[in-house]
A and B are shown apart, each in its own frame.
Chain A
């Protein structure tokens, strides 16, 4: 799956937190945009049939013990 352009994190931050100072907004923008840079390329691995995995389902064959 091709990835679209990255969201405009500066615009998102300013829109969600208009009451913060510029420095505070920049700190938030940096946290998320930094994380996104590592995550975004991984989305190319997603196929149409891949469902979300919200919990870890135990493998039925897994043992409980040594």
Chain B
């Protein structure tokens, strides 16, 4: 892979050192080469990708520059509608579905001149964190193919980390961008709820679904987010404000930035090396000018408990019309959807009432005190495919699902931007990640801090050997 980041490739395109066609051919060749080993893709859209690449080259040569994504190979999770192209959501129940329109994010990526190379595999119907798909096979981590890439945007994490594409679209309902970003060693942002339109994406949890990018750098995530964010009247929950995201300078300043941390929430039952990595990151941010503020955030576990009511109920409603086709659901996800139908309406409404209370509490106890929160994204590094528990150094045994989701889920309920990026490497050779969280619509501030970390330490530049 000749170019590491979107910025690198964009510069080379404009300097005519490479063409979009060459970038796309390399992307498709590598994707095909790695497909038997990693199973990242459900479908490569080779013909249309090459056509888009040729168009990008013509436009750039004629002086029509659509921005940093112009001519850049990108792929999308298979829950985003792509007009005329099968869109399965990783499921058998939607195996033959061909949409007649693009998702809003796909429209915006096309408008930005991105070259869409294919549809990425995922956990079935986005309801899981392993991407071990009963119908399409296990997606495998590029760092160690015996391990999960995380989910549900597993194919997105793998395709980016292995260098097949420069960025990939994912979705995050309970960690499904940040968990694969963590396990695959990429950057990945769950933006503020409503910043990116959900139009044309299969829902899992209507009030919890967030659409966002994974990429090799946080700055690349910012480029994609800038392209896909914005009002959309077709999504009734989309923010109506049209203020664009702030552009982020190189080595963004951290003067005046207050970063909160919490022993109780972020370090309970966390791998000791991940804890040390997070503590080192806190010291680094302080050295670069940020003020550190200890906070008591144990109550975020209560917010996680709300997600266990809201998500199953909403997910069950999303697929209810298909639930009679029991044999066509994977054995792992079917009970989760069916359990959602057991939740009484009263409990769901109570959970949504409590959600307002906790959002107010977050404003008072977090966003009135600090600009950002910093913690790990996941409590563990990528587990083996099929593992349901892992034992940490020190002998503590943790359940994989809880260890993967506990630190990320609260921010789906609160709707605040949360970004995962590489914080270092474990003694087991696997990436460890950090998570920066901001107040609603402070997505640029979150990304700026992560960009500063990456530009200072370059820990994110290590790539797996595949």
Contact = CB atoms under 8 A, between A and B. Distances in A.
Interface residues of A, number: 33
Contacts of A62: 439-442
A31 B444 contact: no
A18 interface: no
Contacts of B448: 66
A53 B252 contact: no
Interface in B331-367: 335-336, 338-339, 341-344, 347, 349-357, 359, 363, 367
B341 A54 contact: no
B353 A66 contact: no
A9 to B, nearest CB: 7
A3 B119 CA distance: 46
Contacts of A28: 335, 338-339, 342
A35 B246 contact: no
Interface residues of B, number: 51
B168 to A, nearest CB: 24
A42 interface: yes
Contact of A66 (B252, B312, B347): B252
A22 interface: no
B356 A53 contact: yes
A56 B236 CA distance: 12
Contacts of B349: 52
17 contacts: A27-B335, A28-B338, A35-B312, A36-B309, A46-B350, A50-B354, A53-B359, A55-B237, A56-B415, A58-B241, A59-B439, A59-B441, A63-B442, A64-B241, A64-B442, A66-B444, A66-B448
Interface of A: 7, 9, 12-13, 16-17, 24, 27-28, 31-32, 35-36, 38-39, 42-43, 45-46, 50-56, 58-59, 62-66
Interface of B: 192-194, 207, 237, 239, 241, 243-246, 248, 252, 302, 305-306, 308-309, 312, 335-336, 338-339, 341-344, 347, 349-357, 359, 363, 367, 414-415, 439-445, 447-448
